């Protein structure tokens, strides 16, 4: 958001009408010579969609919303009930930097409504808003901080390849890291949009990178993830590269995840996960939350890891979790508790990836954690030993479960989950299952080159 505009909005009292807010946004757009405005939202899979309007229609859109046909948007509606209204959220107004848009363009996030004025139940942002409201009613503010990993691949003409842009390694500071300037360009662009980069560095695999921003409330963070993915792709294209958030694009290399740091704060600003007198200074709330995540992780995995390719990442040997456990130091665990305490106390869920819809991902993480708080069940003992070095007998004796091994396996836990039915609602759950079962069926009936190379010569 434009900072001058942000100050204007903050200074408007609740008693004043929305006309003043609209006037300030339109004034800011005109002062900055904006030509076009992108009215942005996402489909059920988290793919950004937008309606582009000339700036002279901005006031109309802010005042009345913008009607559109949702029949061709994944998870939205049938042809018979396709009319929807995109209602801009004034506080999300941003003027895009020139490195992103050559023509002076702004963007604003939209909530989706029915023509009768009711919120559209297929709006995935609405799902997150509702569970955040539930947390607030329980006395908690829900914060998330993701670690966003991605690959930069070379292009041949207009076509993308899977050739990494460099051969640097983890945290490398050398001539091999050819993307330091690209990461800097992404960070500068994000900063111009009010998103301050926390850290950025080269990751383990060739051509793999990570950019993080400071934690925030989950709705803000989900918005920022959508923006980060868009900005990274645009900046990469300027450098004749392709930015990919595919979880596992390269065989034999680490995949890209979205390790998510989670905390609950009370209204007084006190971290609800912290107890100076608790075991390892964790509160019962933190332990109940962890217990809920562990208990319901199989049911929510197909949202956290929603593609066929996601499960190529969740295999032993590549620093991604496969077992359902938690720990303080052990990085082979699904949930890790970073060493910081006091208001920095948090848990890190290591399984999600960036191929998903962040609004649904954060919603179900919270739903599982709140369920654990309601049930008040303590988690099993933390597993500090490297699980990958344990025998199957040791794993079984320790009652360590395993994450689903494929999209089809994950869907089998999701389809009958009451947690998902209650959190997502029938419309989103049914549409998601329809799309993902179709994806799984298409994948499992394919004949791959590996199969013909392996079996044809001997069978």
Domains in the chain (CATH in brackets) are: 3-120 (3.10.20.70), 129-451 (3.30.590.10)
Task: Look at residue 79 in the predicted model and tell me its pLDDT.
Answer: 52
Residues 215-266 have pLDDT tens digits of 999 999 999 999 999 999 999 999 999 999 999 999 999 999 999 999 999 9
Task: Look at residue 306 in the predicted model and tell me its pLDDT.
Answer: 97
Task: Look at residue 16 in the predicted model and tell me its pLDDT.
Answer: 36
The C-alpha atoms of residue 359 and residue 108 are separated, in whole angstroms, by 17
Check 183, 224, 242, 350 and give the catalytic one: 350
Task: Look at residue 379 in the predicted model and tell me its pLDDT.
Answer: 94
Check 147, 166, 223, 353 and give the catalytic one: 147
Task: Look at residue 6 in the predicted model and tell me its pLDDT.
Answer: 47
Closest CA to 243 of 320, 329, 152, 167: 152
Catalytic residue check, 441: no
Closest CA to 262 of 417, 370, 383: 370
Check 69, 279, 381, 442 and give the catalytic one: 69
Check 210, 223, 299, 353 and give the catalytic one: 210
Catalytic residue check, 101: no
Task: Look at residue 82 in the predicted model and tell me its pLDDT.
Answer: 82
Low-confidence ranges of the chain (pLDDT < 70): 1-17, 77-81, 174
Catalytic residue check, 149: yes
Catalytic residue check, 203: yes
Helices (H), 202-305: 218-238, 284-304
Task: Look at residue 21 in the predicted model and tell me its pLDDT.
Answer: 86
Catalytic residue check, 147: yes
Check 123, 185, 203, 299 and give the catalytic one: 203
- Angle formed at CA 1 by CA 95 and CA 266, multiple of 5 degrees: 160
- Cβ atoms of 214 and 196 within 8 Å: the answer is yes
Catalytic residue check, 350: yes
Check 331, 342, 434, 444 and give the catalytic one: 331
3 state SS of 265: strand
- Angle formed at CA 117 by CA 59 and CA 356, multiple of 5 degrees: 85
The C-alpha atoms of residue 365 and residue 410 are separated, in whole angstroms, by 16
Check 38, 224, 242, 259 and give the catalytic one: 259
3 state SS of 375: helix
Task: Look at residue 10 in the predicted model and tell me its pLDDT.
Answer: 43
Task: Look at residue 78 in the predicted model and tell me its pLDDT.
Answer: 61
Catalytic residue check, 451: no
Checking phi first, is residue 207 left (phi over 0); if not, alpha (psi -120 to 50) or beta? left
């Amino acid at each position: 958001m434009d900072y001058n505009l942000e100050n204007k909005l903050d200074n408007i009292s609740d008693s004043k009408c929305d006309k003043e807010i609209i006037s300030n946004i339109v004034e800011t757009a005109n002062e900055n010579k904006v030509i076009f405005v992108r009215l942005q939202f996402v489909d059920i899979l988290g793919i950004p969609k937008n309606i582009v309007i000339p700036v002279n229609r901005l006031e109309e859109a802010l005042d009345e919303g913008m009607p559109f046909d949702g029949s061709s948007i994944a998870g939205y509606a049938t042809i018979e009930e396709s009319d929807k209204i995109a209602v801009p959220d004034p506080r999300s107004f941003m003027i895009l930097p020139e490195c992103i848009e050559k023509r002076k363009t702004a963007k604003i996030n939209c909530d989706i409504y029915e023509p009768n004025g009711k919120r559209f139940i297929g709006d995935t942002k609405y799902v997150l808003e509702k569970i955040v409201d539930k947390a607030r009613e329980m006395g908690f503010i829900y914060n998330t901080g993701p670690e966003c990993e991605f690959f930069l691949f070379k292009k041949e003409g207009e076509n993308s390849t899977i050739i990494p842009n460099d051969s640097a390694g983890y945290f490398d500071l050398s001539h091999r890291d050819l993307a330091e300037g690209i990461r800097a360009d992404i960070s500068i662009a994000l900063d111009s949009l009010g998103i301050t980069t926390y850290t950025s560095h080269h990751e383990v695999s060739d051509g793999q990178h990570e950019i993080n921003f400071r934690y925030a409330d989950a709705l803000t963070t989900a918005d920022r993830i959508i923006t980060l993915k868009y900005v990274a792709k645009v900046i990469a294209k300027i450098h004749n590269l392709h930015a990919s958030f595919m979880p596992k694009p390269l065989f034999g290399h680490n995949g890209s995840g979205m390790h998510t740091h989670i905390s609950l704060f009370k209204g007084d600003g006190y971290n609800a996960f912290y107890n100076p007198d608790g075991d390892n200074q964790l509160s019962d709330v933190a332990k109940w939350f962890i217990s809920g995540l562990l208990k319901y992780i199989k049911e929510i995995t197909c949202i956290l890891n929603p593609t066929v390719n996601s499960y190529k990442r969740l295999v032993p040997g590549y620093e991604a979790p496969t077992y359902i456990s938690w720990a303080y130091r052990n990085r082979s665990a699904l949930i890790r508790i970073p060493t910081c305490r006091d208001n920095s106390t948090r848990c890190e869920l290591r399984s999600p990836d960036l191929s998903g819809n962040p609004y649904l991902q954060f919603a179900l993480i919270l739903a599982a954690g709140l369920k654990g708080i309601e049930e008040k069940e303590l988690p099993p003992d933390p597993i500090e030993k490297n699980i990958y070095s344990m025998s199957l007998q040791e794993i079984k004796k320790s009652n360590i479960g395993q994450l689903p091994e494929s999209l089809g396996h994950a869907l089998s836990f999701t389809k009958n989950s009451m947690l998902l039915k209650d959190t997502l609602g029938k419309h989103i759950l049914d549409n998601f299952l329809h799309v993902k079962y179709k994806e799984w069926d298409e994948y499992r009936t394919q004949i791959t080159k590996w199969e013909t190379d392996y079996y044809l010569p001997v069978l």
